[in-house]
């Protein structure tokens, strides 16, 4: 997992200053174990920084996305979710269709990706997988 210092260094390398607002947004993302919407992030920091606007959260998330600090995910519904890009840990997502719980999953596809590469000659650049189901709590209902 990335640290705030590493993220600050990445931003600095891209010519982006780590303002108080950007730092707070990154701290919320670092503390989360699941992707968050801009509204989720805004709700978490609104009390700490009442002058912050939702549009500012969106603007910063878009800036972070442009410099490969965060990734936007279309998991379920129309609302984008954002997560930090952890270059050392590629993962996928398991989503509950009832409560919208999102669980990161380690990637099981490395061997398959190598097989595809060898069989087709393609250079595999990326892949995404979403698995939908019912979490244990929703399954009990």
Mapping DSSP onto H, E and C, the string for 76-116 reads CCCCCEEEECCCCCCEEEEEECCCCCEEEEECCCHHHHHHH
Q: Which positions make up the binding site?
A: 90, 96, 99, 127, 135, 138
Known binding-site residues for Fe cation equal 90, 127
Binding-site annotation, residues for Zn(2+): 96, 99, 135, 138
CA-CA-CA-CA torsion sign (78, 100, 130, 59): positive
């Amino acid at each position: 997992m990335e640290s705030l210092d590493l993220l600050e260094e990445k931003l600095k390398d891209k010519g982006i200053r780590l303002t108080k607002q950007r730092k707070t947004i990154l701290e919320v993302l670092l503390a989360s174990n699941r992707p968050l919407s801009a509204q989720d992030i805004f709700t978490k920091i609104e009390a700490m920084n009442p002058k912050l606007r939702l549009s500012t959260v969106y603007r910063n998330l878009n800036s972070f996305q442009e410099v490969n600090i965060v990734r936007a995910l279309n998991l379920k519904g129309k609302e984008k979710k954002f997560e930090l890009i952890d270059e050392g840990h590629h993962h996928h997502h398991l989503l509950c269709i009832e409560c919208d719980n999102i669980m990161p999953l380690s990637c099981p596809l490395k061997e398959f990706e190598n097989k595809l590469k060898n069989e087709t000659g393609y250079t595999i650049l990326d892949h995404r997988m979403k698995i939908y189901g019912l979490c244990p709590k929703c399954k009990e209902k």
